[in-house]
Structure 1
Amino acid sequence: MTTAPAEIRARIAQQKFLLPGMYGAIDFTRRPERFTDAPDAETAIRAELESLRPRLLADSDRVATIEAYTMLGDLAADAYAALMPEYGFRRLVEMLDQACADGIGSIEHPPAELIALLAEMERIPTWLDMALVEEGARIERNMTAHLMPFLIRGSFVGTFMNSYAALPMAITGSLGTRTAGRRMTETASFFACTTLPGALARHGVGFRAAAKVRLMHSMVRFNILRRDWDAAVYGIPIPQSDQMPAGLIPTMLLALRVLDRGRDHFTPAERAQVEFARYRCYLLGLPEDLLPATPREIVDVLATRQATLRRAYDDTTCGALVRATMAAYTEPDRGLASRLHDRVERSAAKVFFVQAVLSGSTERAAAMGIEVTAADKLRAAVAFGYAGCRLVIYRLLLRIPATRSIADARLVRKIDRYLARLGHAEFTTDASTYRAP
């Protein structure tokens, strides 16, 4: 941690005065119900990390930091999103996209809020090594090309298992299969495009996608906070503490493996993967306090967030989001090949979700309306077996100097085809689809 909790709380309090239209009615001195440091509370911490909870709660500064970031949105993007009544959401997206592609000077009379948002994203953190980030992206391309298509749905629905964190998704209309499917493919599109060569550079596709994702999240906050949102229970919609897991859970799993092997540091290749994930999250607006760099820090920061998020599962919110996403058809057409791919991918997603999120409990899955059949298990075994073999083959090819460039070029083409199948990601939100919280 680099920032004192008192300094973070002062920044959080600024929201009320800088953006009164969004945050004026919120009491930032009040701890939301979702957050707890009670020793006997039931929380969202992973079962295998439960034994760490007493040690994690004993670090009062880290606990205070996570609590503070439960009440922080994204000041720069929120200020720009708050211009919606004046410009309309389409125009805000268009100006941001143009500014990312052609520079702020390409826009006549750009709003000060847009200038500030772009300047924040262009600021280079002191720890950034773009060569290391590019190496991390190159390593990630293998996983993205071969496993992401079968993991993304199961990973996406795994974020819906806590009603405190999942409610904003439910409010935005994502309980319907069409909207849920679009949100899932947009998420896949974002993570996939950021692994392309040069994607996170200033004029890269990943930089532009990150800017639009930030704006989308802020638009959601703007629209939800104008409704009957109970901040005393839920904190801020899509707070920074909830954005951290989406970008860093794979990094946490990597850190756990490193620690389990008795190491307290990353190898050069692992370091590259971590730096790639950290910079991608930085562009999404995550504060540097939530971007730890060492294996132990990564585990402790993310586990503290889990250890202080009160456990809560509401079937009308969490279960409905899981069922809608699992039922969504996301292929580009209804041809035989697409329908076959949909069936295999959906089976793989169900099996992965049950194993990774529900600790293998098909009974819990069935109670949520997710039936895992013998045919699902067979299709998933074929999918993961095939993807795993390709993963290993390309890992070997990428280690051989004579084949490295050819293998990487093929991975880039695979990701390009995957992105084409996912379709164009809008990264927008339509307030007319929101339901009452």
Structure 2
Amino acid sequence: MSHTYRNAVIPERVVNLDEARHRHGAMADHAAHMVMAGDPLADAVIAELDQLGKEGRHILNRGLADGLTSLGEQPPKAIEALLRQLETVPSWADPAQIDRGEVALLSVPQPWFEICAISSALVHTYASPAIARLLAQTGQLTKMASRRLVETGMWGRQSTLPGGLHRGAPGYISTAQVRLLHARIRATALQHGWDTAVWGLPIGQTDMARTWLDFTLTPFTALAAVGIELSAEEQKGLYQYWSYTAYLLGIDERFYQGVTDHASARRLQNLLDMTNAEPDDNSRALTAAMVSATASAPNPLNSQARRWQTFTADSAETARRENAQGPGPDEAFRLPGGTAYEQNIAVPTTA
């Protein structure tokens, strides 16, 4: 895919661009300019929902659950375009891998995933001053941190279970909901005077790529510190699976198509980090709130400790089988008041 940047203005948040060009070549300019790029399909749906109201939300939710064909011959145009893209599995995606789920993450016991992987992912996300500024504007940091941990864990689990990304499956729906929530946040921030000349577009493509790394490279860097490491083959499978997740999230393909292992992921992370300003007070406040929320959560690690003291391929396979079972209908999570997506986009539901 070719990209041109005629008359494009690079926002002030982008730093060290000359050094990044020297180290990363044309990809540095791509990352710098994609700070100003959103997600046209999802952004159009948000605008359409604002026009259609409650009925539009019903149509969207039905389409996510039951597919585009369930909406008849003339669904709303923006909803139709988004669903068509979501339901078109790209030729490079492996259907068998989608059937299996994300094997590497499923081999990690849930307590380690939640406490080690999720926490490290959010810390790196919050390290971006632009992202932190956007999130901090909502206020109530402690309350938000707890829900953020729970919702992130729910999405991570749903999207990696066997078949979780099949059309209409919980992971597919929650991934689309994350994408649409980003679009809603973008639209709301722009309506309230967000300074794009300084901060770029709220949750622009470069920020989405950063978040994608926070569910691939960042968690497994943290997990490696406690002895949970991936083989070369496992790394390949991890990034293949999450490339399809990136596609569903509406992330520009140039960010992820060349990322096939931790080494190539680190190159992308280095580019995004070196062109990003240092963490600021918002970053520190969000991280402190998240650490506090993590510390106050029940700690089920002790029951898993012996398994990881004697970590073997068999123990990993045991964990994968247990995690792949997923919660039964009666164990499914429901947050009081609904998820952030339900609160901001979907038709309100009763808990």
How would you bin the TM-score normalised by the shorter chain? 0.7 to 0.9
Q: Is the 8 A contact 1:177 1:324 kept in 2?
A: yes
Check whether the contact 2:179–2:250 (CA below 8 A) recurs between aligned residues: yes
Contact between 1:145 and 1:418, CA under 8 Å: does it hold in 2? no
Q: Kindly state the Cα deviation for residue 410 of structure 1 after the two structures are TM-superposed.
A: 2.5
Aligned CA distance change for structure 1 residues 231 and 253 (closer, same or farther; 3 Å)? closer
> Hey, what's the Cα distance between the residues in 1 that align with 2:161 and 2:104?
11
Aligned partner letter, 2:131: A
Counterpart of 2:260 in structure 1: which amino acid?
T
Q: Give the distance between the partners of 1:325 and 1:418, measured in 2 at CA.
A: 28
Contact 1:98 1:107 in 2 (8 A): yes
Partner of 2:209: 244
SS in 2 for 1:143: coil
What's the secondary structure of 2:172's corresponding residue?
helix
Is 1:77–2:39 an aligned residue pair?
A: no
Inter-CA distance 176–387: structure 2 relative to 1 (3 Å threshold): same
Amino acid aligned to 1:411: N
1:293 equivalenced with 2:252 (yes/no): no
The 5 A counterparts of 1:18-417 are 29-38=8-17, 54=19, 57-88=22-53, 91-107=55-71, 109-135=74-100, 137-143=102-108, 145-151=110-116, 152-171=118-137, 173-249=138-214, 251-252=216-217, 267-291=232-256, 292-295=258-261, 296-313=263-280, 315=281, 317-328=282-293, 342-345=296-299, 386-391=303-308, 396-397=313-314, 408-413=320-325
Cα offset, 1:248, TM superposition? 2.1
TM-score between the two structures when normalised by the length of structure 2: 0.81
Map Cα deviations across residues 263-288 of structure 1 (whole Å, 9 max, x no partner).
xxx73332112211221121111111
Deviation at 1:96, TM superposition (A): 2.3
User: Does the 8 Å CA contact 1:219/1:429 hold for their aligned counterparts?
Assistant: no
Identical columns (%): 24
- Maintained 8 Å contact 1:193/1:419: no
Once residues 220 and 143 of structure 2 are traced to their aligned partners in structure 1, the CA distance between those partners, rounded to angstroms, is 36
Any conservation in 2 of the 1:248–1:277 contact (CA below 8 Å)?
no
Residues of 2 paired with 1:231 and 1:429: CA distance? 26
Cα displacement string for residues 89-124 of structure 1 (whole angstroms, at most 9, x for unaligned residues):
x55443322102112232365210000001111222
1:69–1:419 CA distance, 2 compared to 1 (3 A): farther
Contact in 2 for aligned 1:181/1:328 (Cα 8 Å): yes
Instruction: Give the secondary structure class of the aligned counterpart of 1:159.
Output: helix
Q: TM-score, normalised by structure 1?
A: 0.66
> Aligned AA for 1:311?
E
Instruction: Return the alpha-carbon distance in structure 1 between the equivalents of residues 331 and 198 of structure 2.
Output: 38
Mapped to 1, the partners of 2:283 and 2:89 lie a distance apart of 38
Q: How far apart are residue 81 of structure 1 and its match? A: 0.5
Give the 3 Å change call, closer, same or farther, for CA 111–194 of structure 1 in structure 2.
Answer: same
Query: Which whole-Å deviations, capped at 9, do the CAs of 1:111-143 have from their partners, x for residues lacking one?
Result: 100000011112222321122344451332122
3-state DSSP of counterpart to 2:102: helix
| Corresponding residue number in structure 1 for 2:225 | none
1:180 shift after superposition = 3.2
In structure 2, distance between residues paired with 1:187 and 1:157 = 13
The structural deviation recorded for 1:82 is 1.1
**Distance in 2 (alpha carbons) for counterparts of 1:395 and 1:117:** 43
Aligned length: 332
Asked whether the equivalents of residues 199 and 206 of structure 1 are also in contact (C-alpha less than 8 Å), the reply is yes
AA in 2 matched with 1:99:
G
Which runs of no fewer than 5 residues in structure 1 stay unpaired? 11-27, 40-53, 258-265, 330-340, 346-382, 432-437
State the AA in 2 paired with 1:94: H
1:398–1:99 CA distance, 2 compared to 1 (3 A): farther
Cα displacement (A) at 1:429: 5.2
Q: What is the DSSP-based 3-state SS (H/G/I as helix, E as strand, rest coil) of the residue aligned with 1:70?
A: helix
CA contact (8 A) 1:145 1:415 kept: no
Task: State the Cα deviation string for residues 174-202 of structure 1 (Å, max 9, x = none).
Answer: 53433332233211111111121100122
Q: Which sits farther off after the overlay, 63-72 or 240-249?
A: 240-249
In structure 2, runs of 5+ residues without a counterpart are 223-230, 346-351
- Going from structure 1 to structure 2, the CA distance change for 1:254 and 1:286 (only over 3 Å counts) comes to same
